[in-house]
Structure 1
Amino acid sequence: MSEEQTVSLVDVLEEDEELEEEASAVLAGSDSDHCSYPQGYVKRQALYACNTCTPKGGEAAGVCLACSYKCHEGHDLFELYTKRNFRCDCGNRKFSELQCKLYPEKDEVNTLNKYSHNFFGVYCTCSRPYPDPDDQVEDEMIQCVVCEDWLHGRHLGCVVPDCVELQEMICETCMNKNPFLWTYAAHLAVPGATVEVKEEPGADDSNTNLPNKEDKCDDVIQPSCKRSREDAEPSCKLKQLQAIGQKRGQSGAVFWPSTWRSKLCSCNTCQESLSGASLSFLLDESDTVLAYENKGKNNEQTQQGNDPLMSALDNLNRVQQLEIIHGYNDMKTELKDFLQSFAAEGKVVTPEDIRQFFEQQQSRKRRRVDAGRFYST
């Protein structure tokens, strides 16, 4: 008799709790009741693309969390996780047969929004959907902090380091489009080995080695205004790093530790260069997905702090509060022990088992009440 793989109830509960925390981190940072359009181009928010309203072949569009619930319920949605500096498109010109129910007064288009193939449900340089029914390889998807595309770990051209959730990644294409990043990578990035990426059918050739037009400028765009080198160079961290001459292989994606943004140069010249390349967000540590998730977790904890049960307790006297709290803690402990006994014995919990548990709770409660009445007489 072959042994079947079993999962304990405790494992299921723990996994469910992890998924809830992950969802809360992403969604709690966005408003689920009000369209985000009036806020303008939101610094970072959870986004969705509607394959029902804007299918492939049409114009790319993104909708906020609230509109995904209220305006696109039952539609085929692509979850985009989060994007930066985006304004909700729901109901604008791109949606010919839908009007936004939450905020219909929108401009025809949001000219500053940036779109990618993600908005049509495909990701990575291989342009495949996720999850991919035809891909049998277990692989994690990692988001580039510059282009915000999601890439398979095996398509990054480098070894994925441990604790990747605490790091940021810039894909090879974005590194080559912004060659000055290789200078920073030689000093600030997580050390890693590059690996050869096999060509796959349908793979995007955009991540091949691009010509470095900026090589003649040593990866630095010179200041547009005339100033002495003595005034500009001493305060420029990037030029100081270049002077050291430390090199790193310029291939594959690059992973960065959590504090790397704080070490980038913010002199006037570098700020102008970053702005010109639409990379000013790299100087903003609150732009990170991790910062957004922490904000979501804090919001969730605040909402839990406003629990209706706790509000009801505030209206009771001290004795009643203690009775309810002790009763709740007792039930919580007994339920945990009850479920763990099933997990330890490998038994399946049935609806009948749950009914019996609460019937026993009610029976004990009645005995306590009856005993109290007998004592009081």
Structure 2
Amino acid sequence: MAATEGDEGTVSLVDVLEEDEELENEASAVLGGSDAEKCSYPEGYVKRQALYACNTCTPAGGEAEAAGVCLACSYKCHEGHELFELYTKRNFRCDCGNSKFGAMECKLFAEKEKVNAENLYSHNFFGLYCTCNRPYPDPEDQVPDEMIQCVVCEDWLHGRHLGCSVPENVELQEMVCELCMKKAPFLWTYAACIAVSPVTKESKGEVKNDHEHVDEKSKGEEASTSPKDLKVNGVTGCKRSYQDTEASPSQMAECRLKVLQTSGRTREESGAVFWPCGWRSKLCSCTSCKTKTAFLLDESDTVLAYENKGKTTEQEGGGDGRDPLMSALNNLNHVQQLEIIHEYNDMKTELKDYLQRFAEEGKVVTPEDIRHFFEQQQGRKRRRADASQYYCS
């Protein structure tokens, strides 16, 4: 495959296309599960959807002004406004055009109640995140750090502000922040037995699993049966102890949480908690516990389930999934491949510059904007072709 030389080494067109495909898949995961044409308000409190907050219409000033709009309204009703991307939120009804927006009406669905009483808001709706209450990206923060979302409050927190070390392959796990753990203290019981063990660093730089506050009997059992322990991303958990408590059907029929509370397993109640895949299915679903766990018992509530839905929707509407450009490249000679690479790189640079203006002004890029860009590209191409023809004659 032909390649181009740059300051960062050789990059093939295949590499560029694969990178673009990855970015497209990420966008599809977030936006594919939401409707870009119709306001989601008639659907009521949608289980999970992509949301935005408009700083132009509802600027920061207090909890009463916080509001969120659906994907379609961000395009149709708030074009050119300064928007904060909220990623996804659960059980939310579109606020666009209600009393929080003054005289403004929703262009897609005008008949809305004054407020959506069941909506939950946070500082995210004013473009602020984490316990440090800062924007993202933060122009004053020079420390490179990833943002991780709590599955309970759905706030995004810096890894360094979680009160614990972030385990490897964190994208395969779910996290509950320390504040939410303390608001739902029963989760500490589950954390002692099924969560990823907290990781601490020794003075020599070694990493160890921290099983603090475990009684002597539990320590002895753990030492004698460690091969049975579950390893999640290389971190040893304590599924063995959890499975032992599951052994009695009569006890489990009563309340799984109560059985765990009598197991003797404890854990230091500090820092965020990372949970392995499938942890929700291990929560007790008895009548009493359902009032505590609610949405946590619903596997379809997860962001992963929503993203998979978005990807599936895109695949179902996108034909056989094969990239026609990738297929066409196999039939081109070396010179033709180089010409396409140069054309592609020129277009990519111009598109980046074009979109940068929207980012600087905090505007949403609409389909009309993209069509306008490619119309300009076609115009430039025709002018270059005409100039070339004139020169050759």
Normalized against structure 2, the TM-score is what? Answer: 0.68
> Please, which of 99, 106, 130 is the counterpart of residue 105 of structure 2?
99
CA contact (8 A) 1:157 1:194 kept: no
Describe how 1:183-262 pairs up with structure 2 within 5 A.
183-193=189-199, 234-262=253-281
CA contact (8 A) 2:54 2:81 kept: yes
Separation of aligned partners in 1, 2:265 and 2:335: 61
CA contact (8 A) 1:167 1:258 kept: yes
Q: 2:159: which partner in 1?
A: 153
Q: 1:204: which partner in 2?
A: none
Deviation of the 1:134 alpha carbon: 1.0
Distance 1:104 1:21, change over 3 A: same
Deviation of the 1:177 alpha carbon: 0.9
Q: How many residues align?
A: 293
Separation of aligned partners in 1, 2:78 and 2:303: 25
Distance 1:7 1:50, change over 3 A: farther
After TM superposition, the structure 1 stretch with the greater mean CA deviation from structure 2, 285-294 or 13-22, is: 13-22
Q: 1:84: which partner in 2?
A: 90
Runs of 4+ deviating beyond 4 Å: 231-234, 335-344, 346-351
Separation of aligned partners in 2, 1:138 and 1:185: 29
Separation of aligned partners in 2, 1:269 and 1:57: 39
Distance 1:13 1:329, change over 3 A: closer
Give the match's secondary structure for 1:83.
Answer: strand
CA contact (8 A) 2:36 2:72 kept: yes
Deviations along 1:274-304, whole A, 9 cap, x unmatched?
1xxxx40011011000000000011001111
CA contact (8 A) 2:251 2:259 kept: no
Deviation of the 1:138 alpha carbon: 1.3
Larger-gyration structure (1/2): 1
Normalized against structure 1, the TM-score is what? Answer: 0.71
% identical aligned pairs: 66
CA contact (8 A) 1:342 1:349 kept: no
Distance 1:336 1:251, change over 3 A: farther
Describe how 1:29-44 pairs up with structure 2 within 5 A.
29-44=33-48
Distance 1:337 1:149, change over 3 A: farther
> Please, which of 41, 50, 55 is the counterpart of residue 51 of structure 1?
55
Distance 1:243 1:61, change over 3 A: same
In structure 1, the gaps of 5 or more residues are 196-230, 310-324, 356-377
Matched, 1:283 2:297: yes
Q: 1:219: which partner in 2?
A: none
User: Partner letter of residue 267 of structure 1?
Assistant: C
User: Partner letter of residue 328 of structure 2?
Assistant: M
Matched, 1:301 2:315: yes
Separation of aligned partners in 1, 2:184 and 2:34: 31
User: Partner letter of residue 32 of structure 2?
Assistant: A
After superposition, the CA RMSD in angstroms is 3.1
Deviations along 1:320-349, whole A, 9 cap, x unmatched?
xxxxx9xx88633135966876999x9995
Distance 1:70 1:88, change over 3 A: same
Separation of aligned partners in 2, 1:126 and 1:65: 28
In structure 2, the gaps of 5 or more residues are 1-5, 202-249, 348-377, 379-393
Deviations along 1:119-153, whole A, 9 cap, x unmatched?
00000000000111111111111110101100011
